[in-house]
Amino acid sequence: MRNSVDLSLLRFQLKALLGDKTSLWQALICHWVLTGFVFAKKGLASAASADAALWTNYGLFVAAAALTMFGGICIGFVLVKPRSYGMVELMLASPLSLRKLAVTSYFTCLLFSVANLALHFLVIGLRFGAVPYGPGFYSALAAATAFAGSVLFGAVILALRRKDSDQLQGVLLAVGLMFIAPLMFTRLRLDIPSWLPLFLAAVCALGFFSLWSGFYRLITREKAVLA
């Protein structure tokens, strides 16, 4: 994987991403304001008790919030605003291999999201001290991550094909908020079976394989048209 990341392209993308006020607005508003709600509604209640179901619920919220932001960055930075950064033109005309270009773009978004998520957990630790994470918390993170992975990459392909990509991004954020809202404002008891994370991970791997094939064919066809 490390040999597939182009460092010069990675530095360019990170510099452009950090200078993009829209992406920073998404990070500060969409993620941290929602986190404030969950602190008030569930974080305080969970800190006062060792309720495993609440922490499983909280784990699903964290995963959903992070993945909603991650999807917004992937689609917004890499594809929705191609004229600002020349990403589509770079993707079609670059001497880099398609694999290096795609892996580097994915790694850029992943670094940004991981840094934000790490800051999120740092705030949790400073605010609540030792947090009683349990197997349910990590199972919830794994299940939500596996389920959302192929969906996000599918949305990336749709954004490449569609002209109304701004509307697509709005729809994706709305769908993400719809998944987050029940976790924020209810005390839903979640019983996650042990096989669910592995099953969803397998579905995610199959989805990524099929989506990568479609992505490769799309870019190859566009390169042929430009040639």
Are 168 and 75 contacting, i.e. CB atoms less than 8 angstroms apart?
yes
The mean of the pLDDT values for the chain is 59
pLDDT at 111 over 70: yes
Say yes or no to pLDDT of 12 above 60.
yes
d(C-alpha 164, C-alpha 174), whole Å:
16
The pLDDT-based confidence of 32 (bands split at 50, 70, 90) is low
pLDDT band per the 50, 70, 90 thresholds, residue 100: confident
At residue 107, the pLDDT reads 75
Domain-wise residue ranges, the chain: 2-226
pLDDT of 184 reads 47
Two tokens, residue 100: 């290096």
Alpha helices per DSSP H over the chain: 7-18, 21-25, 34-38, 44-47, 52-73, 82-85, 87-93, 98-128, 135-161, 165-185, 196-226
Close Cβ partners of 214 (under 8 Å, ≥ 6 residues apart): 157
pLDDT tens for residues 148-161? 554 555 555 555 55
- Model confidence at 23, pLDDT cuts 50, 70, 90, reads low
DSSP assignment string, 205-216 = HHHHHHHHHHHH
| pLDDT of 87 higher than 60 | no
Which tens digit of pLDDT belongs to each residue from 173-222?
555 555 554 444 444 445 556 666 566 566 656 656 665 666 666 666 66
